[in-house]
């Protein structure tokens, strides 16, 4: 190492230190005070631990446990420290928690991660192996409650570490470790025996015992690293980290002293990789202590600050910090960056981030902390740093995360006598302070007529009683009208540094809550603007969290889709969605989630999205009895997704009758089902009015010409001011197919069966052959063109006698009876052929005369309608602009794929109306 001029060769006497148990008048303490621990300098090389009485002084080697020479004994000046400490960008600090150190295999993985870091110098902070800290506390607990089984528990601790070491290490290193372990355990046995006799353990005794978990894990890891040939030392951080208690179960590091001690330590052990114990430290008087909750993270941050590390990496078992509690919000995402302040705010709200005090040491030097998953090295983790770049510059990106706090009560102190009276707030809050309640948020309107604040629910009774008592006179005189308690409240907080000075963020939040029908009871936002806090009913809290989170984190074009009728068209649509959703998400930021599929007997529901690769199997295996009411509720009650659409792929009139209610609920509707648009006119008009009033979308392109752009073409003409004169064409794929293929080689009924087989017919082919399907299409187009026509206004020439259609109880029976008309059809066809003509079934809308008709006609062979093939539709729009030559749309107008494609287009049209990029 360069620049390591200072070396502290302390004489043995100076290297020794004294341990003075805290003075206590209790007998138990006195028993403990009579114990003295003396360890030789080479204790960790397997030397003896002697326990016996001496003159009250305790000499400990640096690497044993809690004692270090007093600060005064290390005569290193501050400037020397600065010269010596290898600071700069060469250090990286890693911290591995108990889970990472859980098994020998994991410890080996940790070693590999450390070895894989190319930083020049590495300081590794480790926790005890998982569960060991609890086992150690349990030892103390058992001993002080005079439970003999502490000895067995100690043996288990020994066994755990011995087994792990044998798995991980070999040769001399294993022997050294085991010898040390033996020695420590017999040391502990004596200590626990003392505690047992005293029936009490001081905090420092307890901390001394517990700290062994880290001592052992640090040694094991350092040996594991050394095994690969890398130079590695281990550090007992009690020699280096000096802290002072700061109340509330917290400690403050003494940085100056820490630096001095670290300097001293480096002078003796200039290794490039140092494995150090997390969690444990010493007081200025060299009493062993711990860094309390999340202590190892704190150790890493303090050490990171001491060596001015380039980065502190906290390794754990999650991919990083989530945007919300993933147990409550399945859509929660891992945040790539967080500012120190954001991490701070979030940890207050219980997010599993770092404890705020962990951030303080690194924050002052702008050292980034990265939280990474040891079990998923491909995850980049979350970086907590000064001011992360605004990744996409969106308003939405201003909010980094959402958090909730439950079990709160609001206290509302109200009265006209409060306004303009100085000291009211002070009187209220001093009452709260006097009963020791913790105020979680405060809000006061500027009219000053009321002050409300939230406290933990369990503290509210005493707060309320105190306030009633303090303000008895004001209440009696009417200056205060009430001191009201509202139980069952939660806080929802939105956290984000960039919310500050960004207009519109709170508007988005409150809009999301309003749309989820959530009542906000109180609001608070400090002028730092990092945090907007709203108080709501606890029962609404998760719903509110999901609604708010989805609004900020999901793509605006995330669509929750409910599919009704997974038959021919519905099934084809589901398969198309399956194949295309990933592409849409990737290329267009359109996130389609089918969260429900219902047929007539069963339905399948999911909160986040059905796996479309196996929707059929799931619908068979995991479905529940179909119920359209609960199906729709499932969609409307889902507040994760900002937009919802029901896609009706049935031919059912009763399903169509619900569109009105769905639109009213804010659910968009898309359908190839003609029933709503060709049903009773008054209902259709009501539906359109509701659709416009509710700002929802209702698309039905596939009702005419299947996937062909018929409705959209008509709309385009109308919306741009063209005037429709006539729409005429072959609107039935089934009938087109039949007459295109009925050429004298096959019977008429066989061709009908082929059309049915090809999926061109309606679920009931009588609808096609009766001409009703075409009549419905004419009505759809008429209404779209602004004509108020009923289905009954369209004269329809049926292709089969009505009596036949009516006399059959099923479509199959109808198909069986159909051959009886084959002869009649053969004659009609050959008559037309003899005249050089073909048969075609056409629909026509005369917009000028406000009438429509549907009939079988004969066309000369050179007529465009005679040129069709397959299931082709042809639709000719004659308009003011297209008067001489009509605008013609032609192509396959029936069949599963083209129809489903038309419905899919409507879904994407909806996404684009909702803001998807074009
Ligand atoms: N086949 C085609 O080429 C075209 C069809 N269409 C329309 O597409 C719609 C569907 O036609 P297909 O898929 O051929 O019919 P289909 O009979 O194959 O499928 C309809 C599905 O809806 C289900 N269903 C019926 N009533 C229901 C209810 N009340 N609740 C839930 N599910 C119900 C059925 O069980 C069936 O699974 C029809 O409205 C049709 O007019 C539109 C254009 C072209
Ligand atoms: N059965 C209909 C399907 C489309 O609406 C047809 O044949 O056109
Ligand atoms: Na169409």
Number of neighbours of residue 56 by Cβ within 10 angstroms: 12
Q: Cα of 688 to ligand 3 centre, how many Å?
A: 19
> Is residue 78 scored above 50 in pLDDT?
no
Q: How far apart are CA 572 and CA 579, in angstroms?
A: 11
Ligand nearest to the CA of 762: 2
- The ipTM, to two decimals, is 0.99
pLDDT of residue 693: 92
The answer, yes or no, to whether any atom of ligand 2 lies below 6 A from the CB of 590, is no
Mutate to test the pocket of ligand 1, among 628, 651, 776, 906 (most ligand atoms within 8 A of CB): 651
Q: Cα of 456 to ligand 1 centre, how many Å?
A: 55
Q: What is the pLDDT of residues 558-578, one digit of tens each?
A: 899 999 999 999 999 999 999
Residue-range domain boundaries for the chain: 12-310, 401-553, 558-704+906-913, 711-894
The answer, yes or no, to whether any atom of ligand 2 lies below 6 A from the CB of 69, is no
pLDDT of residue 204: 85
Q: How far apart are CA 310 and CA 638, in angstroms?
A: 45
Q: What is the pLDDT of residues 799-848, one digit of tens each?
A: 999 888 889 999 999 999 999 999 999 999 999 999 999 999 999 999 99
In terms of DSSP bridges, do strands 698-699 and 668-670 run parallel, antiparallel, or are they unpaired? Answer: parallel
Ligand 1 proximal residues by C-beta, below 6 Å:
564-570, 598-600, 649-652, 654-655, 672-674, 702, 706, 733, 759-760, 762-763, 894-895, 899
Q: How far apart are CA 254 and CA 302, in angstroms?
A: 10
For ligand 1, atom 22, the nearest C-alpha belongs to 565
Q: Which CATH class is domain 711-894?
A: alpha beta
Across the strands, what pairs with 843?
729, 854
Atom index in ligand 2 nearest the CA of residue 702 equals 5
Tokens of 652: 């059912």
Atom index in ligand 2 nearest the CA of residue 761 equals 1
The helix/strand count (H/E) of the chain reads as 34, 32
Q: What is the DSSP string of 187-247?
A: HHHHHHHHHHHHT---HHHHHHHHTHHHHHHHHHHHHHHHHTT--EEEE-GGGT-EEEEEE
Q: What is the pLDDT of residues 318-362, one digit of tens each?
A: 898 899 988 888 889 999 988 888 888 777 665 566 777 788 889
Ligand nearest to the CA of 707: 3
Ligand nearest to the CA of 627: 1
Q: How far apart are CA 484 and CA 453, in angstroms?
A: 11
Confidence of residue 4 (pLDDT cuts 50, 70, 90): very low
Mutate to test the pocket of ligand 2, among 674, 678, 733 (most ligand atoms within 8 A of CB): 733
Confidence of residue 248 (pLDDT cuts 50, 70, 90): low
Atom index in ligand 1 nearest the CA of residue 675 equals 39
Atom index in ligand 2 nearest the CA of residue 735 equals 7
Q: What is the pLDDT of residues 454-495, one digit of tens each?
A: 999 999 999 999 999 999 998 998 888 999 999 999 999 998
pLDDT of residue 677: 98
Q: What is the pLDDT of residues 149-201, one digit of tens each?
A: 999 999 999 999 999 999 999 999 999 999 999 999 999 999 999 999 999 99
The answer, yes or no, to whether any atom of ligand 2 lies below 6 A from the CB of 706, is yes
Give the mean model confidence (pLDDT) for residues 141-147.
Answer: 96
Q: What is the separation, in whole angstroms, between the first and last Cα of the chain?
A: 60
Q: Cα of 651 to ligand 3 centre, how many Å?
A: 16
Q: Cα of 764 to ligand 2 centre, how many Å?
A: 11
**What percent of the chain lies above the pLDDT cut of 70?**
87
Mutate to test the pocket of ligand 2, among 649, 702, 730, 762 (most ligand atoms within 8 A of CB): 762
> Is residue 37 scored above 60 in pLDDT?
no
Give the mean model confidence (pLDDT) for residues 489-518.
Answer: 85
Q: What is the pLDDT of residues 48-59, one digit of tens each?
A: 222 222 223 323
Q: Are 843 and 874 in contact (CB under 8 A)?
A: no
Q: Cα of 701 to ligand 3 centre, how many Å?
A: 4
For ligand 1, atom 38, the nearest C-alpha belongs to 651
> Is residue 764 scored above 70 in pLDDT?
yes
Residue 695: CA atoms inside 13 Å, Cβ hemisphere, count?
3
pLDDT of residue 638: 84
Ligand nearest to the CA of 898: 1
Q: How far apart are CA 211 and CA 67, in angstroms?
A: 13
Atom index in ligand 1 nearest the CA of residue 628 equals 30
pLDDT of residue 529: 67
In terms of DSSP bridges, do strands 280-283 and 401-414 run parallel, antiparallel, or are they unpaired? Answer: unpaired
Mutate to test the pocket of ligand 1, among 620, 650, 777 (most ligand atoms within 8 A of CB): 650
For ligand 2, atom 3, the nearest C-alpha belongs to 894
Ligand nearest to the CA of 616: 1
Q: What is the CATH number of domain 558-704+906-913?
A: 3.40.50.720
Give the mean model confidence (pLDDT) for residues 607-631.
Answer: 95
Q: Cα of 761 to ligand 1 centre, how many Å?
A: 10
Mean pLDDT of the chain: 86
The answer, yes or no, to whether any atom of ligand 2 lies below 6 A from the CB of 771, is no
Q: What are phi and psi of 877, to 5 degrees?
A: -100, 115
Mutate to test the pocket of ligand 1, among 568, 601, 702 (most ligand atoms within 8 A of CB): 568
pLDDT of residue 62: 26
The answer, yes or no, to whether any atom of ligand 2 lies below 6 A from the CB of 773, is yes
Q: Cα of 713 to ligand 3 centre, how many Å?
A: 9
Q: Is the pTM of this model over 0.80?
A: no
Which residue in 217, 123, 124, 206 sits closest to 177, CA to CA?
217
Which residue in 253, 405, 417, 442 sits closest to 325, CA to CA?
405
Atom index in ligand 2 nearest the CA of residue 737 equals 7
The answer, yes or no, to whether any atom of ligand 2 lies below 6 A from the CB of 734, is yes
Ligand nearest to the CA of 873: 2
Among 404-408, 529-533, 790-794, the least confident range: 529-533
Q: How far apart are CA 662 and CA 681, in angstroms?
A: 19
Which residue in 161, 38, 182 sits closest to 102, CA to CA?
161
pLDDT of residue 55: 29
Q: What is the pLDDT of residues 362-396, one digit of tens each?
A: 998 899 999 999 999 999 999 999 876 655 555 55
pLDDT of residue 105: 96
Q: What is the pLDDT of residues 698-716, one digit of tens each?
A: 999 999 999 999 999 999 9
Tokens of 391: 């990744």
The answer, yes or no, to whether any atom of ligand 2 lies below 6 A from the CB of 732, is yes
Sign of torsion, CA 687 691 692 697?
negative
For ligand 2, atom 4, the nearest C-alpha belongs to 894
Q: Cα of 423 to ligand 2 centre, how many Å?
A: 78
Confidence of residue 446 (pLDDT cuts 50, 70, 90): low
Give the mean model confidence (pLDDT) for residues 430-443.
Answer: 90
Q: Cα of 899 to ligand 1 centre, how many Å?
A: 11
Domain 401-553: give its CATH superfamily: VC0802-like (3.30.2130.10)
Sign of torsion, CA 306 307 310 314?
negative
Q: Cα of 650 to ligand 1 centre, how many Å?
A: 3
Q: Are 98 and 130 in contact (CB under 8 A)?
A: yes
Does the domain at 12-310 match CATH 3.40.1160.10? Answer given as yes
Q: Cα of 708 to ligand 3 centre, how many Å?
A: 4
Atom index in ligand 1 nearest the CA of residue 571 equals 13
Confidence of residue 637 (pLDDT cuts 50, 70, 90): confident
Q: How far apart are CA 122 and CA 300, in angstroms?
A: 12
Atom index in ligand 2 nearest the CA of residue 704 equals 5
Confidence of residue 537 (pLDDT cuts 50, 70, 90): very high
Q: How far apart are CA 743 and CA 733, in angstroms?
A: 17
- H-type alpha helices, 391-456: 424-434
Q: Which residues are catalytic?
A: 777
């Amino acid at each position: 190492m360069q620049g390591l001029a200072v070396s502290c060769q302390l004489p043995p006497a100076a290297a020794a230190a004294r341990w003075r148990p805290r003075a206590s008048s209790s007998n138990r303490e006195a028993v403990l005070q009579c114990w003295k621990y003396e360890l030789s300098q080479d204790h960790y090389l397997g030397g003896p631990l002697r326990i016996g009485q001496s003159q009250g002084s305790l000499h400990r080697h640096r690497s044993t446990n809690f004692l270090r020479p007093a600060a005064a004994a290390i005569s290193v000046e501050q400037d020397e420290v600065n010269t010596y400490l290898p600071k700069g960008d060469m250090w990286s600090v890693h911290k591995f928690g108990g889970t990472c150190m859980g098994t020998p295999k994991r410890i080996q993985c940790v070693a590999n991660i450390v070895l894989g870091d190319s930083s020049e110098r590495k300081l590794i902070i480790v926790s005890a192996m998982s569960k060991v800290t609890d086992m150690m506390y349990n030892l103390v607990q058992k001993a002080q409650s005079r439970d003999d089984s502490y000895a067995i528990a100690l043996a288990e601790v020994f066994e755990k570490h011995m087994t792990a070491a044998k798995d991980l290490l070999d040769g001399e290193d294993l022997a050294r470790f085991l010898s040390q372990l033996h020695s420590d355990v017999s040391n502990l046995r004596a200590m626990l025996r003392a505690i047992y006799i005293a029936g009490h353990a001081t905090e420092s005794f307890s901390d001394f015992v517990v700290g062994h978990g880290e001592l052992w894990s640090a040694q094991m890891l350092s040996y594991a690293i050394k095994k690969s040939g890398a130079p590695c030392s281990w550090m007992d951080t009690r020699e280096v980290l000096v802290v002072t208690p700061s109340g509330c179960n917290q400690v403050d590091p003494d940085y100056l002293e820490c630096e001095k001690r670290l300097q001293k330590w480096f002078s003796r052990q200039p290794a490039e990789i140092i494995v150090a114990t997390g969690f444990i430290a010493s007081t200025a008087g060299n009493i062993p202590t711990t860094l309390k909750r999340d202590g190892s993270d704190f150790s890493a941050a303090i050490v990171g600050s001491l060596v001015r590390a380039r980065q502190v990496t906290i390794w754990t078992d999650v991919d990083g910090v989530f945007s919300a509690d993933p147990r409550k919000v399945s859509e929660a995402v891992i945040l790539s960056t967080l500012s120190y302040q954001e991490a701070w705010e979030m940890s207050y709200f219980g997010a599993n981030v770092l404890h705020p005090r962990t951030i303080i040491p690194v924050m002052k030097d702008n050292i980034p902390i990265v939280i990474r998953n040891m079990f998923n090295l491909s995850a980049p983790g979350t970086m907590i740093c000064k001011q992360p770049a605004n990744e996409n510059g969106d308003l939405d990106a201003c909010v980094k995360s959402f958090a909730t706090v439950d079990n709160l009560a609001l206290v509302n102190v109200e009265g006209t006598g409060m306004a303009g009276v100085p000291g009211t707030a002070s009187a209220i809050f001093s009452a709260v302070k006097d009963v020791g309640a913790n105020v979680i948020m405060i809000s006061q309107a500027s009219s000053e007529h009321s002050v409300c604040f939230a406290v933990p629910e369990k503290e509210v009774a005493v707060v309320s009683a105190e306030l009633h008592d303090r303000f008895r006179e004001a209440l009696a005189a009417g200056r205060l009208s009430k001191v009201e308690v509202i139980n069952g409240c939660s806080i929802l907080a939105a956290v984000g540094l960039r919310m500050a000075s960004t207009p519109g963020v709170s508007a988005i939040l409150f809009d999301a809550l309003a749309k989820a029908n959530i009542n906000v009871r109180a609001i608070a936002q400090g002028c730092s603007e990092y945090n907007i806090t709203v108080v709501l009913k606890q029962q609404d809290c998760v719903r509110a969290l999901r609604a708010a989170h989805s609004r900020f984190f999901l793509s605006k074009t995330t669509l929750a889709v409910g599919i009704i009728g997974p038959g021919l068209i519905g099934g084809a649509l589901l398969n198309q969605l399956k194949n295309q959703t990933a592409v849409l998400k990737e290329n267009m930021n359109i996130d389609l989630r089918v969260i429900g599929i219902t047929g007539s007997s069963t339905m399948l529901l999911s909160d986040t999205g059905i796996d479309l690769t196996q929707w059929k199997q799931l619908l068979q295996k995991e479905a529940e009895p179909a119920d359209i009411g609960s199906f729709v509720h499932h969609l409307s009650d889902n507040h994760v997704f900002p937009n919802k659409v029901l896609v009706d792929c049935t031919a059912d009139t009763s399903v169509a009758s619900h569109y009105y209610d769905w639109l009213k609920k804010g659910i968009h509707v898309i359908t190839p089902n003609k029933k709503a648009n060709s049903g009773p006119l008054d209902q259709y008009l009501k539906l359109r009015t509701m659709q416009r009033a509710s700002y929802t979308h209702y698309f039905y392109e596939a009702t005419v010409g299947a996937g062909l752009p018929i409705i959209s073409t008509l709309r385009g003409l109308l919306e741009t001011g063209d005037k429709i004169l006539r729409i005429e064409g072959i609107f039935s794929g089934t009938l087109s197919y039949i007459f295109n293929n009925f050429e004298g080689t096959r019977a008429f009924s066989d061709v009908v069966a082929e059309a049915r087989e090809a999926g061109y017919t309606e679920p009931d082919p009588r609808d096609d052959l009766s001409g009703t399907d075409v009549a419905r299409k004419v009505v759809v187009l008429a209404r779209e063109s602004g004509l108020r026509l009923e289905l009954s206004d369209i004269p329809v020439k049926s292709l089969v006698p009505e009596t036949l259609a009516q006399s059959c109880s099923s479509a199959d029976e109808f198909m069986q009876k159909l051959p009886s008309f084959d002869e009649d059809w053969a004659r009609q066809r050959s008559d037309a052929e003899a005249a050089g003509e073909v048969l075609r079934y056409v629909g026509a809308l005369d917009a000028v005369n406000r009438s429509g008709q549907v009939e079988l006609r004969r066309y000369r062979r050179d007529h465009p309608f005679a040129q069709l093939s397959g299931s082709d539709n042809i639709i000719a729009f004659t308009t003011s602009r297209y008067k001489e030559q009509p605008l013609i749309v032609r192509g396959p107008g029936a069949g599963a794929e083209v129809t489903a494609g038309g419905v899919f287009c409507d879904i994407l049209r909806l996404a684009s109306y909702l803001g998807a990029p074009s």
